[in-house]
Amino acid sequence: MANVILVFGSTTGNTEMLAEHVVAGLEEGMASVTVKNVTEASVDELADNDAILFGCSTWGEGDLQDDFVDFQEAMDGVSLEGKKAAVFGPGDSEGYTDSFCAAVDMLEETLKKCGAEIVAEGFKVDGVVEPAFEDAEAWGLKVAKAL
Ligand SMILES: Cc1cc2nc3c(=O)[nH]c(=O)nc-3n(C[C@H](O)[C@H](O)[C@H](O)COP(=O)(O)O)c2cc1C
């Protein structure tokens, strides 16, 4: 059974709600999941897992959700060689066409720089998140199968 850590950053709760459904999919795929708000997570614990999932919304004009900023900086120089990874997050393509879900792309790059392998295309949710709950679960299951 693969051990997965899912770290999320969420200002108004949308990423957190998506995370719950991603976890359901991961568990359906027999992964053992630890879920942490990024405010309570430490970069040091990432490498204790087989796979790392990040959930992060995009704020400003293409910025990471506030709580994730220091965490991403702390990942500089960390080795995640041999680890599998994937990223999801909500955004708004109407209001922010040029920076739609930029946080997902940024965190994928960070994980790759640390040596992790991205095993599933980033899951980006546009606008209201509730209609995407089923897709979030399916994406979680897909990730679990890729571990
Ligand atoms: C001030 C502000 C800036 C935002 N900037 C972006 C952005 O650059 N790109 C994007 O895709 N969404 C952007 N959004 C949309 C949020 O990412 C979206 O509301 C998301 O669901 C929030 O998730 P959270 O509650 O988990 O933080 C912005 C929203 C606000 C209110």
Interval 29-50: pLDDT, tens = 999 999 999 999 999 999 999 9
Residue 1: the pLDDT is: 87
Residues 6+ apart with CB under 8 A from 131: none
- Asked if residue 78 lies in contact with residue 45, where contact means CB atoms within 8 angstroms, the answer is no
- Asked if residue 68 lies in contact with residue 22, where contact means CB atoms within 8 angstroms, the answer is no
Segments making up each domain of the chain, as ranges: 3-145
In this structure, CATH architecture of domain 3-145? 3-Layer(aba) Sandwich (3.40)
Tell me the CA–centroid distance for residue 83 and ligand 1, in Å.
29
In this prediction the pTM is 0.98
Smallest CA separation from ligand 1 atom 6, residue: 59
Residue 34: the pLDDT is: 98
Q: For residues 22-26, give the mean pLDDT.
A: 98
Smallest CA separation from ligand 1 atom 25, residue: 12
Residues 6+ apart with CB under 8 A from 76: none
**Pocket residues: Cβ below 6 A from ligand 1:** 10-15, 57-62, 65, 90-92, 96, 99-102
**pLDDT tens digit sequence for 60-105:** 999 999 999 999 999 999 999 999 999 999 999 999 999 999 999 9
